[in-house]
Amino acid sequence: MERCPTCNAKYTGKRICHRCKSDLGLLLDTEQEAGEYLEKAMSAFAEKDFNQMFLHAKRACALQRTPEAARVLACASLLVNKFDMAMNHWSFASHHDK
Residue range 16-72, pLDDT digits in tens: 999 999 999 999 999 999 999 999 999 999 999 999 999 999 999 999 999 999 999
Q: Is pLDDT of 75 > 80?
A: yes
* Interatomic CA distance for residues 18 and 49, integer angstroms: 43
- The reported pTM is 0.84
Q: Residues 32, 58: contact at Cβ < 8 Å? A: no
Cβ count near 11 (within 10 Å): 15
> Residue 73 and residue 59: Cα distance in Å, rounded?
9
- Lowest pLDDT segment from 59-68, 75-84, 86-95: 86-95
Fold for the domain defined by 36-96: 1.25.40
Supply the DSSP symbol for 95.
Answer: H
